[in-house]
Amino acid sequence: MSWTAKPSGSEYDYKFSYTFKGCTGTTFTKFNKIRIMDKYLQSGKAFSLLGECESVGYNPHTGGGEFWSWIHIGGDKATSHSGILLNISALDGIAPKDFVENGLLNCVIELEMLHHAKSTLTDLTTYMPGRCNDYLTFSTDGTGSKPTKRAFLSDNGGGGISGDYKSVIGVGDDTFTWWADTGGNLIINYYYSGVSGEQWASVAVHGKFSPRIYYP
Amino acid sequence: MPFTNEDGQGFTSTSFSLGNAIMPEDISSMSDNDDVMRDGKSFAIAGYCSTAVDVVAETGGAFYFALRLNDGTPATVVNASEMGGITPDGFASFGLKNRIISVRCMRDTAANTGDADDLLPGGADDYKLFSPTGISANWNFDFEMYSGAGGSGGNYVLYKTFGDTGIDYNLKFYVDSTRGDLEVLFNEAGGGDGYCTICGIAEFGPRMTKAT
């Protein structure tokens, strides 16, 4: 169906101009939002750039990132207690491309940790955020502390406590071990070397991970 | 000159459309995308927290600062309501309260404002802030805290002393309980320099509070 003009003189006349408007105009002001988005993307991306790597390596152009966790973990002394620090299938934020498939596999992972341990779960709970002793997770006097830092390569995951691809922090009788499982989740294990009763730890973690770096 | 189609239909009897109209609300969806990017990035991976914790599904962030501090005068390190870059959604309202905060910086004292300013980036001695010989060194201030509801006088501060023999200085970082700004206060305890130059990074996570 095409439109043609037939001369007969009616309300639509070629001597005049007419304006047709189907909806509220889409102004440049609105389209300029796209440029603002570009700036967001540029600045946001700056946190996850891939550095130069050897040409023999294969480096998917995924982003790295950071995360923060605050957990309590423990139970019977002289027993290893494991938990998840980063669950790649249950994230609230935006993950790098393909993150739910690969997670933290083949990443360089840096961890900063502060913790406080108590012998009962009830006491330990007061060291979690918003409770009366929350600040003591970070220092004994409420003035902050230097976090313990470690870095490791996650490889294909599954390192476990005895594997090569893990980080270990020993503080007194408390030992914490991190590794990525084969699904790419970040696992934490807590072990207290006492002989009876219970021991619980409030653990605050700031972690960073690189884009995936591995050989093809 | 009336317009009709080949079937003789005029405008009065025919409606036509060029496709779904681009409505203002469609364009506004870009604003939602902005929020996603602000709270997202890959910087925003939410780590696992215990059920005892309410953690807001939002991003953390990082700020770089370079300041000259005057003895006894608080200075703002992060102004939550006047940021030039990307911040988490709602950051201007909450600022840095209830977050895990890491502060890493280099600090050095000076006897006058001129010497202190020379240590700032672009100053004649800017490299000396990072080491007297121009060879980089470890951060000489590297600490972490939980900011809680903020305040300079309570337990939610980074308070550390340093100095030469017989001279004590201290730096105290804390979050303003009203605005959520990150503040720093330099003090010298007597006989020392009245100025301190700091340059470094402040990183913070999502808000974490007691589970309700």
d(CA B80, CA B204): 12
pLDDT at A63 over 80: no
Average pLDDT over residues B9-33: 63
Could you read off the pLDDT of B165-209 as tens digits, one per residue? 777 899 999 999 999 999 999 999 878 999 999 999 999 998 999
Instruction: Give A 164-183 residues with CB within 8 A of chain B.
Output: none
Q: Could you tell me the pLDDT band of residue B73, with boundaries at 50, 70 and 90?
A: very high
| Locus of tokens 């990525």 | A180
Asked if residues B146 and B100 have their Cβ atoms less than 8 Å apart, the reply is yes
Residues, chain B, total? 212
Average pLDDT over residues A152-171: 92
| Locus of tokens 């599904």 | B57
Average pLDDT over residues B41-70: 83
N-term to C-term CA, chain B:
72
Q: Could you tell me the pLDDT band of residue A2, with boundaries at 50, 70 and 90?
A: very low
- ipTM, two decimals, is 0.77
Taking CB atoms and an 8 Å limit, are B1 and A9 in contact across chains? yes
Could you read off the pLDDT of A114-134 as tens digits, one per residue? 999 999 999 999 999 999 999
Asked if residues B163 and B156 have their Cβ atoms less than 8 Å apart, the reply is no
Distance from CA of A149 to the nearest CA of B (A): 11
Taking CB atoms and an 8 Å limit, are A129 and B208 in contact across chains? yes
Which chain B residues are Cβ-neighbours of A9 within 8 angstroms?
1-2
Taking CB atoms and an 8 Å limit, are B57 and A92 in contact across chains? yes
Taking CB atoms and an 8 Å limit, are B38 and A94 in contact across chains? no
Distance from CA of A127 to the nearest CA of B (A): 10
Average pLDDT over residues A146-168: 92
Higher pLDDT, B103 or B1: B103
pLDDT at B143 over 60: yes
In this prediction, residue A185 carries a pLDDT of 95
Low-confidence winner among A18-22, A139-143, B75-79 (lowest mean pLDDT) = A18-22
In this prediction, residue A155 carries a pLDDT of 92
pLDDT at B6 over 90: no
In this prediction, residue A4 carries a pLDDT of 46
Taking CB atoms and an 8 Å limit, are B86 and A63 in contact across chains? no
Higher pLDDT, B69 or A59: B69
Average pLDDT over residues A86-98: 77
Taking CB atoms and an 8 Å limit, are B52 and A24 in contact across chains? no
In this prediction, residue B43 carries a pLDDT of 59
Counting DSSP H helices and E strands in chain A, the numbers are 3, 9
CA angle B33/B39/B45 to nearest 5° reads 125
pLDDT at A54 over 80: no
For A131, B92, B208, the CA distances from B97, given in Å and listed in that order, are 15, 11, 9
pLDDT at A62 over 80: no
| Locus of tokens 């003090």 | B187
In this prediction, residue B92 carries a pLDDT of 85
Distance from CA of A199 to the nearest CA of B (A): 16
Indicate whether this model's pTM tops 0.90.
no
pLDDT at B18 over 70: no
In this prediction, residue A66 carries a pLDDT of 86
